[in-house]
Amino acid sequence: MNNTFAPTPLADAAIKQYAPALEKGSHLVVIGAGAFGGWTALYLLRSGFRVTLIDAWGPGNSRSGSGDETRVIRSTYGANGLYFDLNVRALELWKAHQKKWDKPLFHPSGVLWFCYEEKVDLIDASLPFMEKHGLAYQYFSRKEAQARFPQVFVDDLDHLALDPHGGYLRAREGAMAVKEAFVREGGGYHQAMAKPGPVRSGRMEFIELNGGTTLAADAYVFASGSWLSSLFPEALGAFITCTRQEAYYVGVPHRYAALFDTMPVWMDADGRDFYYGIPGNAGRGFKIGVDLRGPAFDPTDGDRILDLDVLAKARQFLGHRFPWLQGAPAG
């Protein structure tokens, strides 16, 4: 295995720190085949462990966080240097693996920020990390932006900033591709609902699977996303709450389709209702996401029906920022 695909020294150090007693060849079970569980299982396998990956409904299923068509991938999260470093490494891995698997998963569309003020903390606080990694933003005045992005209404903005290194990932397909690679490389995958088993002397003895069977291993990694608080209510109930968050797909009028399909991912940095969007989406339309925490939500049994009040506000924003999309159908 060449160096790009091998675990980094940081990953090896983490395994030594958190699982010091595990010999290479030990049997590990990862519960959850989303972005976190899938990659964790693949890299544990590549680190020399025997690994079983389990998911209740399959990698990238529609109840999971990794189950939408697309997800933005960007390094800029304000003063969070660790996040920036992790994202740079993640991008490197997605690019290397999509080449290896001959499957386009990362779309380097860039990420375009709509900036209302001269200074935007979220971007400015990341500048030292950009410098460290040799990455730079491109800045557009209103006039320049109008010529380059005629589909965007810019009169109420101070400027636009483009991160040319980010873009979007095919999320559902990515989760499935990781699981397929994991199986090809020798991992075992089972579709089953798992429940933590009894813990004695600090060790979980086994996990229970639906159908009444059990599975024992040397260690278990619960990468179960929004379900973690219900699996471990005493330890995590107070820390993890699954909440609703809306995203819509909008039908772009045919004459503007090419212009919207090829535009960068966009983020509206007005600091209140944080709207963002992604083009493409495997033909489903132009996505607008509302990055606000909604009410608590049950990821297993909750209905996924649009909230018409949130949609009405999102539509108002969309019609303002992208006048050619006024009244466009959403779903």
Q: Where does this chain bind ligand FAD (CB under 6 A)?
A: 31-37, 54-57, 61, 63-66, 71-72, 193-194, 223-227, 231, 245, 247, 289
Residue 15 vs 90, nearer CB to ligand FAD: 90
Distances, alpha carbon 269 to alpha carbons 82, 318, 325, in Å: 22, 14, 20
Q: What is the DSSP letter of 2?
A: -
Residue 38 vs 154, nearer CB to ligand FAD: 38
The closest of 277, 260, 270, 267 to 137, measured between CA atoms, is 267
Residue 146 vs 191, nearer CB to ligand FAD: 191
Q: Which two tokens stand for residue 222?
A: 């619960």
Rg (CA), the chain: 22
**What type of residue sits at position 247?**
A
Separation between Cα atoms, residue 325 and residue 118, nearest integer Å: 27
Residue 154 vs 172, nearer CB to ligand FAD: 172
Q: Which two tokens stand for residue 18?
A: 């958190």
Residue 77 vs 101, nearer CB to ligand FAD: 77
Whose CB is nearest to ligand FAD?
Answer: 34
The minimum distance between CB 3 and ligand FAD, in angstroms, equals 25
Strands 213-215 and 207-209: antiparallel
The minimum distance between CB 56 and ligand FAD, in angstroms, equals 4
The minimum distance between CB 174 and ligand FAD, in angstroms, equals 10
CA atoms 159, 272, 66, 38: torsion sign: positive
Q: Which two tokens stand for residue 64?
A: 């999971």
Residue 49 vs 276, nearer CB to ligand FAD: 276
The minimum distance between CB 243 and ligand FAD, in angstroms, equals 9
Residue 33 vs 328, nearer CB to ligand FAD: 33
CB 179 within 8 A of CB 59: yes
Cβ neighbors of 119 (< 8 A, separation 6 or more) are none
Separation between Cα atoms, residue 331 and residue 327, nearest integer Å: 12
The minimum distance between CB 94 and ligand FAD, in angstroms, equals 11
The minimum distance between CB 118 and ligand FAD, in angstroms, equals 26
Separation between Cα atoms, residue 144 and residue 311, nearest integer Å: 31
CB 177 within 8 A of CB 105: yes
The minimum distance between CB 146 and ligand FAD, in angstroms, equals 27
Separation between Cα atoms, residue 179 and residue 171, nearest integer Å: 13
Residue 33 vs 325, nearer CB to ligand FAD: 33
The minimum distance between CB 21 and ligand FAD, in angstroms, equals 25
**What type of residue sits at position 22?**
L
The secondary structure of 160-219 as a DSSP string is: EEEETT-EEEEHHHHHHHHHHHHHHTT-EEEE--EEE--EETTEE--EEETTTEEE--SE
Residue 154 vs 260, nearer CB to ligand FAD: 260
The minimum distance between CB 168 and ligand FAD, in angstroms, equals 7
